[in-house]
Amino acid sequence: MPKAKKKYLDVSVAPELLIELKQKQNDTPGGTMEKYGRFKNWLRYANLKGWQEQKWHWGYVNYAGREWHCTCGLVIPMGAKAEVGGLAQLDLDAAHRARGHRSLPDFGEVVVAFIYDYKWMEERGVYYYDAFCQVCGDYVLERPGRQADMFADIHNISCG
């Protein structure tokens, strides 16, 4: 079966952009809607960059109700047939069920195993990660970053 051609967007966030957006926010008089708007704009890109550095894939943009955009730039048409079925016990979104994700944070090779969720562990003061493999269906829940990365690396070698 020929693989469907995947569409990608450039969703990389240059450090200079964050500095520029922060500067714009600082240059705007306090207590105004404009300042709040500029803060929100900075936050949007700062969040995106943070998620990419955590290697977290998810459909963070609903574009005009027509498509989802993943943090790696993969575009998933709304209502597209899921390419990864099953795994009902995991809380997967439409992006997670599409193939063709690119590795984060470098937007490199296509990956089949990746982090799909994370959780702040209050008592430990760290994030724990959930990762799964689109090919064999194996997954890990609430693992330290290094363990979740190792899980993904192993599956991307053996299942990718």
Member of 133, 140, 148, 152 binding Zn ion (CB under 5 A): 133
**Mode of pairing for the β-strands spanning 101-102 and 59-63:** unpaired
Residue 159 CB, nearest distance to Zn ion (Å)?
A: 3
Residue 74 touching Zn ion (CB under 5 A):
yes
Which span (27-35, 44-52, 79-87, 148-156) binds Zn ion, by CB under 5 A? 148-156
Size of the site for Zn ion (CB under 5 A): 10
> Which lies closer to Zn ion via its Cβ, residue 21 or residue 104?
104
143 - beta bridge partners?
129
- 55 sits near Zn ion (criterion: CB under 5 A): no
Of positions 21, 42, 101, 117, contacts Zn ion by CB under 5 A: 101
Rank residues 14 and 136 by Cβ distance to Zn ion and give the closer one. Answer: 136
**CB of 65: closest distance to Zn ion in angstroms?**
20
Q: Does 49 bind Zn ion (CB under 5 A)?
A: no
Q: Which helix (H) or strand (E) holds 7?
A: strand 7-8
Using rule CB under 5 A, residue 154 touches Zn ion: no
Q: What is the 3-state secondary structure (H, E, C) of 14-56?
A: CHHHHHHHHHHHHCCCCCCHHHHHHHHHHHHHHHHHHHHHCCE
Residue 30 beta carbon to Zn ion: minimum distance, rounded to whole angstroms: 37
116 and 96 in contact (C-beta within 8 Å)?
yes
User: Which positions ≥6 away from 11 have C-beta within 8 Å?
Assistant: 48, 52, 69, 71, 72, 73, 107
Q: Kindly state the tokens that stand for 93.
A: 């979104």
Residue numbers at the binding site for Zn ion (CB under 5 A): 57, 70, 72, 74, 101, 133, 135-136, 155, 159
